[in-house]
Chains A and B, each alone.
Chain A
Amino acid sequence: MKKILIITVIWFNYCVGIYFGVLNTIYSILLALALFVIFKHLRRIKYSPYKEFTLSPETPPVTILIAMHNEEGVVLRSIRSALATEYPFFEVIIINDGSTDGTLQKVIDAFSLKKIDRVYRTFLKTKPVKGFYHSLETPNLLVVDKERGGKSDALNCGINISRSPYFCSLDADSLLEKDALIRVMTPLLDSNVPVVASGGVVRIINGLRLTDDGITIEKIDLPDNTLLLFEIVEYIRGFLFGRVGWDTLRSLLILSGTFSLFHKTSVVEAGGFMVGNVAEDMEMIVRLHRHMLKKKKPYRIRFVSDPICWTEAPDDLKMLGRQRRRWHLGLIQSIFQNKEMMFNPKFGKIGMAVLPYYVFFEILGPVIEVLGYPFVIISYFLGILSLDFLLLFLTLAIFYGVFLSTASIFLEELTFRRYPKWSHFFKLLMYGVLENFGYRQINSFWRFQALIQFLIGKGEWEYVRKKGAKDRAEAGVI
C-alpha cells in the first residue's frame, strides 16, 4: 500500500514537472514569435497608410459602444476620450445599464442632452429600453437608458441601435488613445480575408498624468502601489507576447472586451454577446470562431500591438481577486458553452489544438500549480524526491517564469518603450522578477477558486470596485 502511494506521489510529481516543461515550451514559442512579429510590425508602421485612412471616406463607419453601470467617477472621461478619437465617421453610443448612482444625470448635464423619440428594434433580445438622449451640439453621441441586464445585455442593446458595419466595445473606465481606433481598423482595411474582430493593447492607466482636458496623456509614470506594478508587468506580458504569439498562429481565443473591434453582422449572426457569461468578450470570440468555421467561410480574428487603450486596474488584493476569479470563471464558461468544438476536426486547429490547450493548461493549470508547489516540496522533505528533481522543478516553475517575465519587459523596451525613464525600466524589470515569488502563486490560487466555484455551480459576476478618476484627477494624477 505504502509502495503504491509513493509511486502515485512520484508520478504526480512527474506530471507537475511535465506540465511546467510543456507550458514553458509553448510560452517560449509564443515569445519567439512575438519578438519576430513585433519587430516586423514596427518596421511596417513606418509606411502604413493608417494616416491616410483617417482622412479617407472609404474608411467604414464605426460605433463605439460604452456600457456603463454606476460609473459616475469615470464616465465623462471615457466619453470625452471616445469623442476625441481621430476617425472619419464614428458615433458613440453610451448604454446606461440601470445605474443607481448619478451616472446618467451626469452625462445628460455634461452634454446638454435631451430625451428623444426613437424606435428600439431588437435584433438581439435585451432588457427594455427606458429612453434615448441626444443633443444637436454633439450629434455623434447617443445615450440609451435601459433596465439592468449586465454588460452583455447592454452591448447587445448598443448593437441593436448601431448603424455602422463595425462596432468597438470600450469599457467605461478606459481612455482611448486618439489614433487607437484607426490603428485597430487598419488590418481590416488591408486584408483580403474578412476580419471579423480585431483587438488592441490594453495598458494600466493608474499612475498616468493627464492634461487639463482629462483625455490626453501628459506624462507616463508608474504608480507607487506594488500590486499595480505587478499588474503592469502582467499586462505587458499578456498583451505583448501572449496575444501577438497566438495571433501569429491564427489561433486567438481572447480579445479584451475593454477595447475590441467587431464586424457587426458576424456578431449578430453568431447571436450577439451571451448574457450570463462573466467574460462576454472571450465567449464572443470563441463563438465567432465556431460560427465562421461552421459556415466554412474564410475569416481572421486579429490582434494589433500598437493601438492602445488605457484602463483602470484594481489596486487592492480583494478587488484583484474578484477580477481574476471572474476572468477565469469566464474562460471556463466560454469553453464549456462551446464544448462541441473540443477535439472536433470540423473546427480545425481551434478545436483540435487551441481549445485543448486552454482546457489542460489554462483551466486545469491552476490545480497543478496550487497542488504542485506544496506537493513537490513536501515530497522532497519526506525523502520521496531527490534534490535534483526539486531543483528541476524550481528551475521550470520559478526560474523560467522569471525569464519569461523579464523577457516581456525587454520586449517592451526594445519595441514600444512606452515607459520612458531609466527608472521605469529597472523598476519593471525588478517587478518582473519579484512577481514569480508570490504574486503568480496568488493568481493561481484565485484561478483555482474560480474552478471550484464553477464546479459547485456558483458562476456569478463578482463586482470589481475601482476608485475612479475623480479623486486622483483632482490631484492631477490618474
Chain B
Amino acid sequence: MLDQGIVIIIIKTTIAVLLLLTTVLFLTSIIRRAYNERKYRKLDDLKTVFDKKMRETLDSGAMPGTRSEFRSSPRSDAWQAIEDILLRLINEERYKDKVPKLCSALGYVSFYEKRIVNRSVQVRALSVDKLGRMKSEASVPKLIALLDDQNPEVVSGVVRSLSKIGGQAAMHGIIERLPVLLDRSIVTPKAMGMALQSFDAAAIPSLVEQKSGQDKLWVISCVLDILSRLPADPRSVHLAAVHLSSTNVEVRSKALKVLGAAGNISTVHNLPELVLPLLRDPVWFVRLQAIRSIRALKYEAATPLIGKLIFDESWQVRNEAAQALTVFGERSLDIFLDILTGTDRYAKDSICEEMEKTNFPGRLIKNLKVSDRVLQKKSRQVLELMHSLGFSTWLNEYLAREGADTEKEFIRTMMKTGSGA
C-alpha cells in the first residue's frame, strides 16, 4: 500500500508541474500570437513600401544597393522584408539579372555564406537554399565544398541550389562528386536527376565522360537513369549501347530506358539487333523496357517478337506489348487477328483496349474503303472481332455522326448480324 505522505507528495508535485507547464505554454502562446501579429503586420507594410521603391529604382537603371534606404541590419524587419521582395523579383524576367547582384551588394550573400558553416543542420540547409534562390554565382565554390558535408539534408540542398545557380562550375561540381554521393546514399537518385535536369543537354558530356564510379554498377545505373531524362543525345545512346549486355539487371534496364527516350537517334550500328535479345530477358522490367526501346526505334521488323509478348507472364509486359503493336499499325494486323481469334481472353481484351485508347478503330474504319482488298478485309475482321468482344464504342460513335456512307452501312449490318459481310 502506498504511504499517505507519498501520495500527497505525488499529487502536489504533479499538480504543480502541470500548472507550471500549462501557465508557461499559455503565456508563450499569447505572447507569440501577439508578437507575430504585430511583426507580420509591420512586415506587410514594409514589403508594400519597399516593393514599390525597389521597382522604381531598378526601372530607373540605378543600383539600389548603393542607396542607404535599402541597407539594414541582419534580422531586422526591414532586412527580412527586402529579402522577401528580392526573392520575388528574381523570378520576374526583367529583374532576373539585376537581383543577384543586388543580393550581393546589400550583404545577403555574405550573410548566408557565413551561415553555411553553422553547427546547426537546419541553419546550414536554410542558408544553402537561400544562396541558391539568390542565384549567387560567387558562392558556387563554397557550395561545392559543402558537397562533402555528411548530412543528407544539407547536401541535397546544395545540389538543388547549384542547379538553380547553373553554369559549368556548378554542374561539374555536382557531376564530379555524383558517384560518391550516390554510392553513399547521401542524395537520392531522384533528387540528383531533378538537379541535373536543369542543366539540360549541357550535362550530358560530363556525365558520359566521368570515369569515377564506373566500377560500381549501382552508380552506372543511376547515371543512365539521369541520362534517360535529359534530352536525346548520340553520346548517351552510345554509352547505353555499351551497357546493354551488362550482367546487372538495373543497368540493362536503364540502358534500354536511355534508348527508349532517345527515339531513333542512333549512331550505333545495328542497335535494334542489340536490343532484340533483351525481349527474351528473364527479368520482366527489362523485357518491358526492351519493348519501349523497339517502339522508340520504330523497328517494325520486331513486330512478331512483340506479338509473342502479348502472352508474357507479366501483365505490365503484356500491356506494353499491346500498346507497341497498336503503334506499329497495319503491320500488326496479322498479329491482332491471330490474338483475337485465339483463346486467351486476357490477350484479346488487352489488344482491344489498347486499340481503343490509341484510336486505332478509326483507322480500321477508314481502311474499309481503301483499294487494298487484303487490308480492307483484315480491318473488317478486326472490327467484327472487337464488336463480338463488346468493344463497340467506336462503332456506335461513328454511327452517331452525321452523313451516310458505305462504312456506316457495313457497321450497321455487322452490329445486327455479327458480321458485315
Give chain A's interface residues, CB within 8 Å of chain B.
10, 40, 43-44, 46-47, 49, 52, 56-58, 115-119, 121, 189-192, 386, 388-389, 391-392, 395-396, 399-400, 403, 406-407, 410, 413-414, 417, 422, 425, 429
Contacts and interface: CB of A to CB of B under 8 A. Distances in A.
Contacts of B330: none
B185 A58 contact: no
Interface in B350-391: 350, 352-353, 356, 390-391
Contacts of B197: 56-58
Contact of A119 (B11, B25, B156, B350): B350
Interface in B47-94: none
Contacts of B160: 49, 52
B100 to A, nearest CB: 18
Given A190-B188, A425-B33, A47 B157 contact: yes
Nearest to B28: A414
Contact of B122 (A44, A52, A57, A410): A44
Task: List 10 A-B pairs, minimum CB-CB distance, nearest first.
Answer: A47-B129, A119-B349, A410-B25, A388-B7, A413-B29, A403-B18, A117-B391, A192-B185, A43-B122, A58-B194
Contacts of B315: 121
A410 B14 CA distance: 19
B349 A189 contact: no
The listed residue with most B CB atoms (<10 A of its CB), out of A43, A58, A406, A413, is A58
Given A56-B194, A425-B29, 12 more contacts: A58-B193, A58-B194, A117-B391, A121-B315, A190-B156, A389-B2, A392-B10, A399-B18, A400-B14, A403-B18, A407-B25, A413-B32
Interface of B: 1-2, 4, 7-8, 10-11, 14-15, 18, 21-22, 25-26, 28-29, 32-33, 122, 125-126, 128-130, 152-153, 156-157, 160, 185, 188, 190-191, 193-194, 197, 229, 315, 346, 349-350, 352-353, 356, 390-393
Contacts of B130: 47
A332 B257 CA distance: 47
B229 A57 contact: yes
25 contacts: A44-B122, A44-B153, A47-B125, A47-B130, A47-B157, A49-B156, A52-B160, A58-B194, A58-B197, A116-B393, A117-B391, A119-B352, A121-B349, A386-B4, A386-B7, A388-B11, A389-B2, A392-B11, A395-B11, A406-B26, A410-B26, A413-B29, A414-B29, A414-B32, A425-B33
A415 B393 CA distance: 54
Nearest to B122: A43
Contacts of B122: 40, 43-44
A189 B188 contact: yes
Contact of B152 (A192, A388, A395, A417): A192
Contact of B14 (A56, A389, A396, A406): A396
B126 A43 contact: yes
A118 B391 CA distance: 8
A410 B27 CA distance: 10
A386 B152 CA distance: 57
Nearest to B345: A119
A96 B28 CA distance: 49
A405 B190 CA distance: 41
Chain A contact residues: over half helix, strand or loop, or mixed? helix
A117 B350 CA distance: 12
A417 B32 CA distance: 11
B4 A58 contact: no
A410 B29 contact: yes
Given A56-B194, A189-B188, A192-B152, A392 B126 contact: no
Contacts of A429: 26
Nearest to A191: B188
A121 B345 CA distance: 11
Contact of A395 (B15, B157, B391): B15
B7 A406 contact: no
B392 A407 contact: no
B14 A117 contact: no
Contact of B190 (A58, A116, A392, A413): A58
A118 B126 contact: no
Nearest to B125: A47
A417 B156 CA distance: 29
B25 A422 contact: no
Contacts of A386: 4, 7
B349 A413 contact: no
A414 B11 CA distance: 29
Contacts of B29: 410, 413-414, 425
Contact of A117 (B4, B7, B21, B390): B390
The listed residue with most B CB atoms (<10 A of its CB), out of A46, A49, A117, A425, is A117
Contact of A403 (B22, B194, B353, B392): B22
Contact of B126 (A47, A192, A391, A414): A47
A413 B356 contact: no
